[in-house]
A and B are shown apart, each in its own frame.
Chain A
Amino acid sequence: GNSVTQMEGPVTLSEEAFLTINCTYTATGYPSLFWYVQYPGEGLQLLLKATKADDKGSNKGFEATYRKETTSFHLEKGSVQVSDSAVYFCALQHPFFGGYNKLIFGAGTRLAVHP
C-alpha cells in the first residue's frame, strides 16, 4: 500500500548547521508530496510541496526535490536557526475512488537546534 517513511529523530544540531531529514515513499501512480511542520504548541502547517517528478518545493530556506527514481523527498536547509526547532512531517497525497484526496503521513522527525 501507500506509505511514507521518515528518518527517526530526534535530530539535534547546532545553529547554522546543515539539515537533512530523509523521507521516502511507496505509492502507486504519481502522488503529490508535502512537508508539514509543527512548532511547539501549534498545529501542523504546510511548509512546502511538490506535485510532480523533479519539482523542487521551497519555503523559509527549506528545500525538497521530488525524486521519482529514488522515491524520495528529502528536506534540506543550509543553515538552521533555533527557531526551526519543531517536528517535521513528510506526507503524500493519496487519490482514491470518489476523487476525495487524503494525506498519508510519516511518523514525524523532531528537530532541536541549539545556539
Chain B
Amino acid sequence: NAGVTQTPKFRILKIGQSMTLQCTQDMNHNYMYWYRQDPGMGLKLIYYSVGAGITDKGEVPNGYNVSRSTTEDFPLRLELAAPSQTSVYFCASSYSPVGEGNTEAFFGQGTRLTVV
C-alpha cells in the first residue's frame, strides 16, 4: 500500500517564489493534516481538513494555503516563500480524529524545504 505520499522530497526556493507541496493518500481517510517541524522543535499543525471541501487553520497557518477538492489530495501552497518557512513538512491522514478510540495518524516521508 502506498499510504501517504508527499512530493517533492527536497526543494530549494528563492525568497518570493511560490510552490505547492503535494500530498495524496489512498486509504480513503477523511482527515488530513499538514505539519511543519523546525530544528529542535516538535511538529506544529499548519492546516487540517475533515473532508473534501472543508479546511481549517491549525497553530501556524500564516503564509500558507490549502485546498481539499478530493478525499485523496491535500496540497499545501506557499505563495511568497520566506526564510522563516525553511522547515520539514509532513502530511498526515487519519480515518477519524486522531486520539479518538483506536485512530492512528499515518504520515508521509516529509518534504525538506529550504528558502534562500
A-B contact count (CB 8 A): 67
Q: A7 an interface residue at 8 Å Cβ cutoff?
A: no
- Bound-state CA distance A102–B15 (Å) is 31
Q: B107 an interface residue at 8 Å Cβ cutoff?
A: yes
Interface pair B97/A101, CB less than 8 Å apart: yes
Interface pair B98/A102, CB less than 8 Å apart: yes
Chain B residues near A46 (CB-CB < 8 A): 104-105
Interface pair A95/B110, CB less than 8 Å apart: no
Please count how many residues in chain B sit with their CB below 8 Å of the partner chain's CB atoms.
30
11 A-B residue pairs with Cβ-Cβ distance under 8 Å, sorted by A, are A34-B99, A43-B106, A45-B107, A89-B43, A99-B97, A102-B33, A102-B45, A103-B105, A105-B44, A108-B37, A108-B42
Interface residues of A (CB under 8 A from B): 4, 31-32, 34, 36, 38, 41-46, 51, 89, 91, 93-95, 99-108
Q: A89-B43, A91-B42, A95-B99 given; name 10 further pairs at CB < 8 Å.
A: A31-B99, A32-B99, A43-B3, A43-B4, A44-B107, A100-B31, A100-B48, A100-B97, A105-B37, A105-B43
